[in-house]
């Protein structure tokens, strides 16, 4: 399945001052993907530019400009009232040559369906811009419809690659297989959410796993290592070993998790997580935990042992939760501390009894679950 999906990840063709033309049907995700791609290229040390060539939808230009501001990428903005897209394309080309950018991404207008006029227009755009890449943006949720669209676009324009968006939805991504087969072109990137960092190079092996229901553990690990600061982790581990965990540590764990994105997205990457009831773990529950901790005074967070009944009641009221929920959270912290102390003791015992074999005992790492799970 992996090799049918294209084997390895397919890189972009990047020459000095490359041009990328983004095409696709209405709402497929062209504009969002243009910005996501620009953001990603920045992380690769490139200097991307965004150019708005969508003169059909009045808000389209503003949309691209706003996205460009968010990621600090210069945006070419056609003059108000321009309607000749070919003339605008020439201006855009000139503009980009005067910029310091290395890769220019051209966002084009979508249509409800492919028609002769759209193809003629895109062909002319292709002539003017001479792009190194023509990327067709396809919505994974549209399934087989996306496939016939891709076939048509490819036969008339010669695309160089595909972008599969909305892979965060219910669609398993099976369309990728047909997209790849009918066009013979690689899927180069995938969009996995509305946010600009929900984007990654397309890895055929990962999608193969997803299609087969194995989750996407590799992406999960990558996300985790991106979001977690080693220092922070080490400090936390030290504290846990000493059994001096407090609610401030809970809070910083919550923050680390937040950096990894919505927990529902993370769960989607876990094998078998699709079968979990949706209430099992959700972002709301973590928000509640955070609300409870934030309702504690600084002293209470540091010294949970002073949390008497009166204080617990106050915290429950302040955070809009029940006293039972507050009690449960405190209980979990205690359990966690006890567990960590025991782990420490056990390690000491083991290393004494196995003198000379001490190196065989693996280091204790942070448990995979958080205290409130």
Using CB under 5 A as the criterion, which residues of the chain lie in contact with Mg ion when the complex forms?
A: 30-31, 60
Burial 200-238 (b: 16+ CB within 10 A, else e): bebbbbbbbbbbeeebbeebbeebeeeebeeeeeeebee
Q: In the structure encoding, which two tokens stand for residue 57, read together? A: 């939808």
CB of 53 to ligand GTP, least distance (A): 11
Binding site for ligand GTP (CB under 6 A): 24, 26-32, 54, 57, 60, 110, 165-166, 168, 191-194
Q: Which residue is nearest to Mg ion, using beta carbons?
A: 31
Judged by CB, which is closer to ligand GTP: 192, or 319? Answer: 192
Using CB distances below 5 to 8 A depending on partner kind, what does residue 28 bind out of ligand GTP, Mg ion, none? ligand GTP
CB of 164 to ligand GTP, least distance (A): 8
Residue 143, by phi and psi: left (phi above 0), alpha (psi -120 to 50) or beta?
A: left
83 forms beta bridges with: none
Contacted entry of ligand GTP, Mg ion, none for residue 322, CB cut-off 5 to 8 Å set by kind? none
**Residue 300 binds which entry of ligand GTP, Mg ion, none, CB below 5-8 Å type-dependent:** none
Chain residue at closest Cβ approach to ligand GTP? 110
Question: What does 29 interact with, of ligand GTP, Mg ion, none (CB < 5 to 8 A by kind)?
Answer: ligand GTP
186 binds, among ligand GTP, Mg ion, none (CB under 5 to 8 A by kind): none
Nearest approach, Cβ of 85 to Mg ion (angstroms)? Answer: 13
Report the nearest approach of ligand GTP to the CB of residue 29 (Å): 3
Task: Please identify, using beta-carbon distances, which residue of 28 and 315 lies nearer to ligand GTP.
Answer: 28
Q: CA-to-CA distance for 44 and 133, rounded, in angstroms?
A: 17
Q: How far is the CB of 30 from Mg ion (least distance, A)?
A: 5
Nearer to Mg ion, 60 or 134 (CB): 60
- Which of ligand GTP, Mg ion, none is residue 193 near (CB under 5 to 8 Å by kind)? ligand GTP
57 or 90: CB nearest ligand GTP? 57
- Beta carbon nearer to ligand GTP, 159 or 240: 159
d(CA 273, CA 359): 36
Residue 372 to residue 191: CA distance in whole angstroms: 31
CB under 8 A, 24+ apart: contacts of 252-255: 253/370, 253/371, 254/286, 254/289, 254/290, 254/293
Q: Which is nearer to Mg ion, 54 or 325 (CB)?
A: 54
- The nearest distance, CB 139 to ligand GTP, in angstroms, is 8
- Burial letters for 21-38: b for 16+ Cβ neighbours within 10 Å, e otherwise? bbbbbeebbbbbbbbbbb
Q: Which does 302 bind (CB under 5 to 8 A by kind): Mg ion, ligand GTP, none?
A: none
**Among residues 55 and 224, whose Cβ is nearest to Mg ion?**
55
> Using CB distances below 5 to 8 A depending on partner kind, what does residue 194 bind out of Mg ion, ligand GTP, none?
ligand GTP
Of 121 and 168, nearer to ligand GTP (C-beta) is 168
How far is residue 364's CA from residue 344's CA, in Å, rounded to a whole number? 9
> To the nearest whole angstrom, how small is the minimum distance from the Cβ of residue 109 to ligand GTP?
6
What number of H helices and E strands is found in the chain?
15, 8
**Separation CA 309–CA 11 (nearest Å):** 60
For residue 83, the minimal CB distance to ligand GTP (Å) is: 16
Q: In the structure encoding, which two tokens stand for residue 357, read together?
A: 């074999």
Compute the least distance from the CB of residue 44 to ligand GTP, in Å.
19
Residue 283 interacting entry, from ligand GTP, Mg ion, none, C-beta within 5 to 8 Å by type: none
At a CB cut-off of 8 Å and minimum separation 6, what does 358 contact?
A: 351
Q: Please say which residue, 194 or 234, places its beta carbon nearer to ligand GTP.
A: 194
């Amino acid at each position: 399945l992996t090799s049918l999906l294209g084997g390895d990840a397919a890189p972009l063709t990047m020459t000095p001052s490359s041009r990328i033309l983004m095409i696709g049907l209405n709402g497929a995700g062209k504009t969002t993907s243009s910005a996501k791609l620009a953001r990603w290229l920045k992380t690769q040390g490139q200097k991307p530019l965004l150019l708005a060539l969508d003169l059909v939808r009045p808000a389209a230009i503003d949309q691209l400009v706003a996205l460009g501001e968010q990621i600090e990428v210069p945006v070419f903005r056609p003059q108000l009232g321009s309607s000749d897209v070919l003339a605008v394309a020439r201006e855009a080309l000139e503009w980009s040559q005067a910029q310091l950018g290395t890769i220019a991404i051209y966002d084009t207008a979508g249509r409800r369906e492919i028609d002769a006029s759209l193809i003629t227009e895109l062909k002319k755009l292709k002539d003017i811009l001479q792009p190194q890449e023509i990327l067709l943006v396809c919505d994974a949720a549209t399934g087989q419809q996306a496939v016939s669209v891709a076939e048509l676009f490819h036969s008339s324009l010669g695309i160089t690659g595909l972008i599969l968006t909305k892979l965060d939805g219910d669609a398993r991504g099976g369309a990728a297989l047909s997209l790849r087969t009918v066009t013979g072109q690689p899927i180069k990137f995938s969009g996995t959410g509305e946010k600009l960092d929900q984007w990654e190079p397309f890895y055929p092996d990962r999608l193969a796993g997803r299609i087969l229901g194995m989750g996407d553990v590799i992406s999960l690990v990558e996300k985790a290592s991106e979001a977690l600061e080693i220092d922070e982790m080490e400090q936390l581990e030290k504290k846990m070993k000493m059994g001096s965990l407090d609610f401030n540590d809970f809070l910083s764990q919550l923050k680390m998790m937040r950096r990894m994105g919505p927990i529902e997205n993370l769960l989607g990457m876990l094998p078998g997580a699709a079968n979990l009831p949706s209430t099992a773990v959700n972002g709301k529950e973590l928000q509640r935990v955070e609300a409870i901790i934030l309702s504690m005074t600084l002293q209470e967070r540091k010294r949970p042992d002073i949390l008497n009944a009166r204080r617990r009641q106050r915290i429950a009221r302040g955070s809009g939760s029940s006293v039972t929920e507050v009690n449960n959270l405190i209980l979990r912290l205690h359990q966690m501390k006890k567990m960590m102390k025991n782990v420490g003791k056990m390690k000491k015992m083991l290393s004494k009894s196995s003198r000379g074999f001490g190196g065989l005992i693996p280091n204790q790492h942070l448990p995979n679950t958080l205290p409130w799970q």
